[in-house]
Structure 1
Amino acid sequence: MAQQVAAFTDTYLPTVNGVTYTIKSWRDRWQQLGRRMDVVFPKTRRYDPTPTEFPVRSVPFPLYDGYRLGTPRIPSGVTDVDVVHAHTPFAVGLAALRLKRRADVPLVASYHTPSGEYAPYLSPSRHLTSSLRAVTEAYERWFYDQADLVLTPSITTRQHVLDTIDVSTPVRAISNGVDVEFFRPVDATDFRRRYDLGLEGERTLVGYTGRHGYEKELTDLLAAVDGLEREFGGTAAVAADITVVFGGDGPARADLEERAEGIDADVRFLGFLDREELPAFYSALDVFAFPSPVETQGLVALEANACGTPVVGVDSGALSETVVDDVTGYNYREGDVADFRRSIVAALDEQGRLEAGCLERRSEVDIATVIEQLRGIYEGL
């Protein structure tokens, strides 16, 4: 029976992203079962670890703001493990591979991020980007082939790992899961007042929260709402003034703010939101808009759905699967801003029906179900 798991990750608290929250949620739930999950992660002065969290020496990653590179070191406190779980193939993930070999235990490796999609950040030319993507995928193939099992958060990502990365290790899709006890419809009146968003019915709120990265294509959201009221204003769907609300932060924020000043729409940037505020944020929105084509699942989309908020997401990557078209929201064609705009209006027009579809699917993404699946996977190995 798998009692103790050692998880290794290149991103952890206080960094805000889907990987961080997944690891934290899995760890908390695993330890609620009376078992132990150590977490090894890059050290930062902004976070005080608990006794089962082990920071390793790290340096800032100069090419991607907000990330740190940890040393591939196995902390002395990580002992007597039954399973090693790597949430990254890089840096700290190499320590997971070393521990697997040293302790002679199974290695599970989660594929959270299509690393090749970040090649443009590191390369000044299209040719070099293509070469860097090829090198990255070759490295990922080598790393994941050392694992006993690869986990992906969606079927779409599983096919990417099998077809593009071309690993020989077995690959299984398992959702990251959502804490549906926490993410649920709540009264958002206080949230609206605190951020001056008006009371329910006074304004139509379309929003996004998460990392403001260039790869998220958030400028498409601004383009979609630019002139939306001119085209659809006065219709049943767009009966109130529209405000676009961005929660979160990231390297693209300054450019987004500059772009927002030149469009015909009210746009608000709320900055980083405390996690306790997120259910109210999602509940306040009429539609959650998600144009990112690089998601391996799109955890914020599931969180929004769990709060009863329909999602309009790009029909690309895992969002094609995460957003159940005409049930929990709508998909739109990648790069087609007009289709994005029409889909937002359709979601507003069908908001009540889509909300019911979202709430009916809550049990399917419940993290309690995911942890039970994870327990079976660990013990099966």
Structure 2
Amino acid sequence: MRIGIFTDTYDPDINGVVRSINSLKQALVNNDHEVFIITNHPHIYKIEFKDRVLRLPGIRLNSLYGYVASSPIQKRAYEYVRRLSLDIIHVNTDFGIGYFGRYCGRKLNIPVVFTYHTEFESYTNYINPLKIKLVDTIGKFIVSKASKKLCKTCDAVIAPSKKTRNMLKKYGVTRRIFVVPTGLEIDTFYRHSIDYARNQDLRKSLGVRNEELLILYIGRVAPEKSIEILVDGFKKINQSVLPSKLLIVGDGPSYQSLRNSIDASLLDSVLFAGKIAMSEVPRYYSASDVFVSPSVTETQGLTFIEALACGLPLFAREDSALKDVVIENETGFYFKNSDDLARKLEYYASLSDVEKSKIFSKIFEKSREYDLDHFYTSIMDVYQLVK
């Protein structure tokens, strides 16, 4: 098949949607499909087509993570897309390029599949800094109506988790929804395929001693991720019982304010790596000992799956999107608040090597459920149904 993936965010952006798209592209290419990425770049007029990536004009939004916004009306780009002779259009975002993909599908009579990646109702704080309840209610109402309309204009909808499917049904979406968790090229993340010496070099460069537990967060640094719970929980760890450091990897609107909020006593033990290249992400997982994220706004929790693939025990707050990934006392532990997080981390550290080995076995077993072969089979089932 010739498949066009339409997205408002792509390399060099680093986020969950881009990681998911790269996994989708790799799975399709591995099985001899022709894949074209239709995205944008920060040029007012220029269209660029290189290495099967078609980049359309857009404007960089420095106030919104530096993302690029594009018009859904793309007359010149339409001719490029028409000449691609696509069999499937797979839309992955909800903005200008996503609307353009739907338009191309309708005009060219090409089936359109839409993956709903983002739980937008958890982001209404960006338009409601004063936390006014009425504004929040109106924001969530608009999200539900817009989501329903976006799904209506497609032939099939993919949800990365049951949580997302249930949310879309609550919005009144009537299109058939397929639950397809994003897959990973597992061997890229597998701890034993990554150079041990490089891992040790990374720990040393960060000032982490061998006997210290390195607690990792990777993701966007933003209010909806609730990273302050993680920092507060780390502060409550008894360092004489559990010598440890916290490493925060990623960038976002709260990055500077979070750094500024760290107590002076923690400046040497709460480490910030900032934004890193995607190629370096597996190394940071593998150099760490556990993965923690307090976020309850995930549609799937791709970073949890990446951490699993690297053999890391997971620590999370209860969220229906994670219930198939984080299994208590098997692949990780749930915590309710910062006090509970500190207790759970200390409990995990106190386990015997035999008990930890059992957890590692479960983690390895679970991670195999998210390999690219499983992902590809599920995606093709959807494509074949809409063809």
- Name the SS of the counterpart of 2:148 in structure 1: helix
Listed as ranges, the matches of 1:35-46 within 5 Å are 35-44=33-42
Pairing partner for 1:201 from 210, 213, 221 = 210
Tell me how far 1:26 sits from its aligned partner: 1.2
CA shift digits 1:155-186 (9 cap, x unpaired): 122111112x2201011111101111101013
Pairing partner for 1:191 from 179, 186, 199 = 199
The aligned residue for residue 247 of structure 2 is 245
Tell me how far 1:71 sits from its aligned partner: 1.9
Higher helix proportion (structure 1 or 2): 2
Contact persistence 2:223–2:254 (CA under 8 A) = yes
Q: Distance in 2 between matches of 1:255 and 1:198?
A: 23
The aligned residue for residue 90 of structure 1 is 95
Listed as ranges, the matches of 1:155-170 within 5 Å are 155-163=162-170, 165-170=171-176
1:349 aligns with 2:350: yes
Contact persistence 1:287–1:347 (CA under 8 A) = no
Listed as ranges, the matches of 1:266-345 within 5 Å are 266-333=269-336, 336-345=337-346
Contact persistence 1:192–1:198 (CA under 8 A) = no
Contact persistence 1:42–1:71 (CA under 8 A) = no
Q: Distance in 2 between matches of 1:81 and 1:280?
A: 37
Q: Percent identity?
A: 24
The aligned residue for residue 20 of structure 1 is 18
Q: Distance in 2 between matches of 1:256 and 1:102?
A: 47
Q: Distance in 1 between matches of 2:342 and 2:18?
A: 31
CA shift digits 1:275-327 (9 cap, x unpaired): 23222211221110011111111111111111111110111251333322221
The aligned residue for residue 115 of structure 2 is 110
1:129 aligns with 2:131: no
Q: Structure 1 regions of 5+ residues with no counterpart?
A: none
The aligned residue for residue 57 of structure 1 is 57
Q: Distance in 2 between matches of 1:82 and 1:161?
A: 26
Q: Distance in 1 between matches of 2:250 and 2:33?
A: 33
CA shift digits 1:202-232 (9 cap, x unpaired): 21100111211221111111000113125xx
Q: Distance in 1 between matches of 2:146 and 2:19?
A: 26
C-alpha distance 49-253 of structure 1, shift in aligned 2 (>3 A): farther
- CA RMSD, Structure 1 to Structure 2 (Å): 2.1
Q: Distance in 2 between matches of 1:135 and 1:307?
A: 39
Q: Distance in 1 between matches of 2:288 and 2:231?
A: 16
The aligned residue for residue 69 of structure 1 is 69
Q: What letter corresponds to residue 102 of structure 1 in structure 2? A: K
Tell me how far 1:375 sits from its aligned partner: 1.7
Q: What letter corresponds to residue 201 of structure 2 in structure 1? A: R
The aligned residue for residue 100 of structure 1 is 105
Q: Distance in 1 between matches of 2:135 and 2:265?
A: 34
The aligned residue for residue 225 of structure 2 is 216
Contact persistence 1:64–1:121 (CA under 8 A) = no
Tell me how far 1:198 sits from its aligned partner: 5.2
Tell me how far 1:138 sits from its aligned partner: 0.5
TM-score (norm 1): 0.90
Q: What letter corresponds to residue 205 of structure 1 in structure 2? A: L
Q: Structure 2 regions of 5+ residues with no counterpart?
A: none
Tell me how far 1:187 sits from its aligned partner: 4.3
Q: Distance in 2 between matches of 1:374 and 1:141?
A: 22
Q: Distance in 2 between matches of 1:253 and 1:292?
A: 16
C-alpha distance 263-313 of structure 1, shift in aligned 2 (>3 A): farther
C-alpha distance 273-201 of structure 1, shift in aligned 2 (>3 A): same
Tell me how far 1:56 sits from its aligned partner: 1.3
- Name the SS of the counterpart of 1:269 in structure 2: strand
